[in-house]
Chains A and B, each alone.
Chain A
């Protein structure tokens, strides 16, 4: 069949199982949008800013495990996707971003709405390509989805010059692509696995440290099995939240800068650290010299370049987390960890996560707990923006399942939560989706109120409103003698700008403001019961700090504790 490039694009996406494209039109993608107009099997979610298309596709990918798809125009359309692409790159999320481009004859001439998209996105994509011949289009799309979703997942950009969209060729979609230069290794090396098993057998104070790789590889079951079999405690990174249900007796919560005291103690005193799909990020390790100083370190990761990048490990195993854990499991058995677990219990009792609740003002931690409790056993997905509220969600929300939490981990991009929640809701319509946003973060992407209103996407936005860019204010409080430079976002202590309730109303989205702890529960219930999108503006304690905290560059034992 002879098809135009635009038609090939559509047919290829359908073959990839894509049903929803997050997009925004423009001059250089008109031929494709014209085809989409005629198409029934593939619909466009029209965002109000291209950055949100990439975040929504990212949320879609995290919620479903399948790649998210973005379609934008050239020039500003492409540059607006950059933050979302960088975000997906840092957090290893499979998204495929299609950008329009000026016609091949104009490429390089500084034409209207021309930018060097492949050049700009080169360091933040796993792979990118400009399609220069319509004959290469089908293969490039196939390769794009394959590369994005295999190995260590990541974003792919495919740049589509306008003339390629119009030219015709025979459509023949390949069943698979073979790339001699790209062969992800899924099986762990048997010798390394043997070494790991030997090291595990000798341990009396093991800790499992699990990251986002466990979620990507759907290895939560195997991870818990390993912990239970060994009777070893598990801590997770921000990206690993949800891999272990929060009530699990062996679970220590999150480690690192705002991790639990007992997780950080456990890691600092363990004799064996099993890192599973985690990358020893600086927010996790603190000062690397003092990170798990006495531990033999096993590191399971699909990306060889993650190994010994920040912390030198003793036993690296390159492979897919799930496969490697499956290979380890039959060879290990219960360890003599009773004393170690007792010690950890003691730490848990002495240093629990805690805050001082109040009858007069809503504590942000209390807000998270209330939402978590009311959601209860309901199938739910939670997203968080970046800053204090993100850490409170990580600390106080009771996650039950993998793929139930998504946040901008590596890049730390404000504005992520709301569009990501949209993507998540579209991927899993049966789940209740709650976006915890900061009052600052929300203002970066709140124009999507228009799209959730238009499409009636029932995402629930909870604004953790403390009138400040809270995390920056916290650092200024602790390290800059309370010189609160450029962090106050309101008109005064009593008036926030904008009035989020009125703003939501302007978008025809239902909304409510809560200021009193006594009104919180009923407001949350009203939000969840409402059939449609909802904005809950919760005014919380303004100068609450996230604790515990390990100051940047310090060791994990140098935590600032104390009751917030």
Chain B
């Protein structure tokens, strides 16, 4: 099963390598990993999606927490949260069928961000399911290139407030 972890780490050299190395050394399956700075530039946040059962995910969580540079690890799989992913797709398209594609883009609230003679680049943001669905629909037109960010997630505010009470 897929589980989503968010990890706050010191924003220092080697930490990403250490986390990546931990996954390979312990044989954990990683589905996606996104890393960025947080509101505090000395802290990075990693959103890691693993494909593991609960017990293994628990080990993943503990092993991540054990790293000296790790500030906090949360398994947010089962808590209310907002999750987003962004993908850019270059779609091969003739002038005649451009309209069709743009219709699908509009339905998905995606955006055309680049237009050329025989291709378009579309940006889509949303849950991983939504992004997957969109990619599926674009396949028949021919996806020339694609890049995805991997999932990022934050817990819902009301949930955090309720925990504080």
Residues of A within 8 A of B (CB): 118-119, 122-123, 126-130, 147, 179-182, 303-305, 307-309, 312
Contact = CB atoms under 8 A, between A and B. Distances in A.
A305 B68 contact: no
B71 A181 contact: yes
A312 B55 CA distance: 10
Interface string B56-68: 0011001101101
Interface string B34-72: 000000000000000000000100110011011011110
Given A304-B62, A305-B65, A308-B55, A181 B17 contact: no
A126 B68 contact: yes
Given A123-B22, A130-B13, 10 more contacts: A119-B14, A119-B17, A123-B25, A126-B68, A147-B68, A180-B71, A181-B68, A181-B71, A182-B68, A304-B66
A99 to B, nearest CB: 15
Given A122-B17, A122-B21, A123-B25, A303 B66 contact: yes
B14 A122 contact: yes
A305 B58 CA distance: 9
B9 interface: yes
B123 interface: no
B139 interface: no
Q: Which interface residue of B14, B25, B65, B69 has the most chain A CB atoms within 10 A? A: B14
Question: Which 4 residue pairs are nearest across A and B when measured between Cβ atoms?
Answer: A305-B62, A181-B71, A127-B68, A305-B66
Interface residues of B, number: 20
Contact of B65 (A118, A128, A129, A304): A304
Nearest to B62: A305
Contacts of A312: 55
A127 B68 CA distance: 7
A263 B14 CA distance: 44
A305 B63 contact: yes
B146 to A, nearest CB: 31
20 contacts: A119-B17, A123-B25, A126-B68, A128-B14, A129-B14, A147-B68, A180-B71, A181-B9, A181-B10, A181-B68, A181-B69, A181-B70, A182-B68, A304-B62, A304-B65, A305-B66, A307-B62, A308-B55, A308-B58, A309-B62
B13 to A, nearest CB: 8
B21 A305 contact: no
Contacts of A179: 68
A444 B43 CA distance: 45
A346 to B, nearest CB: 38
A38 to B, nearest CB: 33
